[in-house]
Amino acid sequence: MGLGGVGANVSARPPQNNNHAAAPRADGWRSIDAITGKAWFWFALVVILCAAPYAAYQAVQLSGGGNVTIRYWNGFTGPDGRTMLRLVRRFERENPGISVVMQRIDWATYYNKLFVAGIGDRAPDLFVLHADMTPRFQQAGFMKTMDHMFSPEWGMSLADFDDNVTRYQKVGGCYYGIPLDIHMFGLYYNKKLFREAGIVDKRGEARPPQTSGEFLDAARRLTKPPRWGFVFTWMRNVAYTMMLQWGGAFFENDGAKCVMNNPENVTAMSFCRDLIAKYKVAPSPENFDAWIGFRQGKVGMVLEGVWMLADLKKQTDLEYGGAPVPQFGPRQADFTSAHVLCMRKGLDGRKLDAVSRLVKFLSDNSLDWAEGGQVPARRSLRETPRFRAMEPQWQFSRQIPYVSFHPFTPMFGEYTSELDYMAERVLRGTATPEEALKTAQDKINEALERRRQMLERGGKL
């Protein structure tokens, strides 16, 4: 059918004679005039028949009968997503009458979508947050407290969680998230390269470094370009771990003022830069892709999150080990985060009961979750022989007593992006640690001041 034909038919005046109008057109199509009353009747009938089951479903839902459907969102798009899906399917089998619609969204866009859904009153019933995001999302007002999970009815014990892990979940005296796991940084090392470099224990096994001196010694012996002793992958969190180890402060007055430009942080960042410029055991930082170098067997050591285990488990030709982050500074410290399970505001009745049951199930079975490359948040599960047998996870979990989340600040986005920029400038050598830390501190304080003004104008100060 040519375009000219269509144009001619549409632009012509309608024929006056209905009999003529109903006649088939030369191109084989029926004119719109040919749609008879009978056709309209059938069309309406089809629409009604299609809509009826949905209306019936809604009626059953409203009357309190039928299945309960839980909408569950998370950012587990990697192998961890398959582990979570298996858990959810098992939950459905064990809980007839409850179905779970799980949506996995890449973390890069997950928070945007979750946030927009939340403020539009369309938040999923259950969703996963990183622990340090809870205060920000709680402030936005679409989260439900989860204190009831610690009641005798649900039987979860607050004492089963480490205090430094649950602290972030407590806002205004109420808990808004149940930690599912703890995912901290740790040291991954290439056992084969270690043995070749003679960094072994008495049994001839690769011996991961525990102190700054041991780390530098190992890194020097492993570095033979193009092979590197160490690489920076996620600069922000390596830098943060180092600054924690030197005891540097970040904020004062409950996050109201940034004070990160201090001598401790300067020393920590200088040490990071020295690994590249002075000791020459690490290349200039790339981005996260330096991790590929470790997977290719071209890097001896890397500091990365426990979640990267899922990536390594797929690889059969790499002999790797996991160990706590060595002590570089005067004290032990390590960056961590955690996945926490959160509920939307307004849940009640059967839905609340079903979601609570799912939260309890996931928490009770978090050892299955840990298999994929996580550390369970519950102490009682970490003490089981099964977890002890998960070698890298168990090694990483030894750091729990001294792990730290990023500091609380209402301007978390600004804080993390400035931390990224600061670490990048120092590691590349384009700014001294003092300059870079000062810029970051000033920028974060600008953002805090903007917020203060906004709250003042809004009568919230």
Partner 1 sequence: MPTSKTLYRWSGYLFMLPYLLAFAAFLVAPLLFGIGLSFYRWEMLSPVPPQWHGLGNYSEALTDTYFWKAVWATLRFVIMQVPLNIGLALLIALAVNEIPRGAQAFFRASFFFPTIVSISVAGILWRWFYSSEFGLFNAFLSPFGWKAPWITDPAWAMKSIVMMTLWWTVGGAFVILLAGLHQIPAHYYEAAAIDGANVFQRFINVTIPSLRPVLLFVVVMNIIGSFQVFGQTFMITRGGPEHSTRSLVQYIYDQAFGNYRMGYGAAMSWLLFVIIAVISFAQFRIMREER
CB-nearer residue toward partner 1: 26 or 389: 26
Rounded-to-integer distance, Cα 375 and Cα 397, Å: 6
Number of Cβ within a 10 Å radius of residue 95: 15
Rounded-to-integer distance, Cα 173 and Cα 311, Å: 38
Query: In Å, what is the CA distance from 367 to each residue of 83, 218, 320, 361, 362?
Result: 11, 33, 22, 11, 9
Output the smallest distance, CB 377 to partner 1, in A.
25
Contact 394, 154 (CB under 8 A): no
* Token couple for 302: 């890397």
Contact 260, 248 (CB under 8 A): yes
CB-nearer residue toward partner 1: 202 or 457: 457
CB-nearer residue toward partner 1: 135 or 322: 135
Output the smallest distance, CB 47 to partner 1, in A.
14
CB-nearer residue toward partner 1: 295 or 351: 295
Contact 383, 97 (CB under 8 A): no
CB-nearer residue toward partner 1: 175 or 232: 232
Alpha helices per DSSP H over 129-256? 134-140, 163-166, 191-196, 212-222, 235-245
CB-nearer residue toward partner 1: 2 or 37: 37
Output the smallest distance, CB 306 to partner 1, in A.
23
CB-nearer residue toward partner 1: 285 or 372: 285
* Token couple for 275: 């690994």
Name the region of 247 (left: φ>0; alpha: ψ -120 to 50; beta: rest): left
Contact 436, 422 (CB under 8 A): yes
CB-nearer residue toward partner 1: 255 or 376: 255
CB-nearer residue toward partner 1: 15 or 330: 15
Output the smallest distance, CB 457 to partner 1, in A.
6
Output the smallest distance, CB 124 to partner 1, in A.
18
List of residues contacting partner 1 (CB under 8 A): 10, 14, 18, 21, 32-33, 35, 37, 40, 112, 115, 119, 136-137, 139-141, 226, 228, 231, 283-287, 289-290, 292-293, 296, 298, 410-411, 413-414, 417, 421, 424-425, 428, 430, 447, 451, 454-455, 457-460
Output the smallest distance, CB 83 to partner 1, in A.
23
What's the CA angle centered on 295, arms 228 and 315, to 5 degrees? 155
Give SS3 for 113. Answer: helix
> What is the residue type of 259?
V
Contact 351, 156 (CB under 8 A): no
Output the smallest distance, CB 141 to partner 1, in A.
7
> What is the residue type of 253?
N
Rounded-to-integer distance, Cα 388 and Cα 392, Å: 9
Q: Is 339 exposed, middle or buried (0-12, 13-18, 19+ CB in 10 A)?
A: buried
Contact 377, 397 (CB under 8 A): no
Output the smallest distance, CB 302 to partner 1, in A.
12
**Cis ω on the peptide bond leading into residue 209 (within 30° of 0)?**
no
CB-nearer residue toward partner 1: 212 or 439: 439
Output the smallest distance, CB 296 to partner 1, in A.
6
Output the smallest distance, CB 213 to partner 1, in A.
26
Output the smallest distance, CB 292 to partner 1, in A.
5
Q: Which residues contact 360 (CB under 8 A, 6 or more apart)?
A: 149, 154, 155, 156
CB-nearer residue toward partner 1: 7 or 330: 7
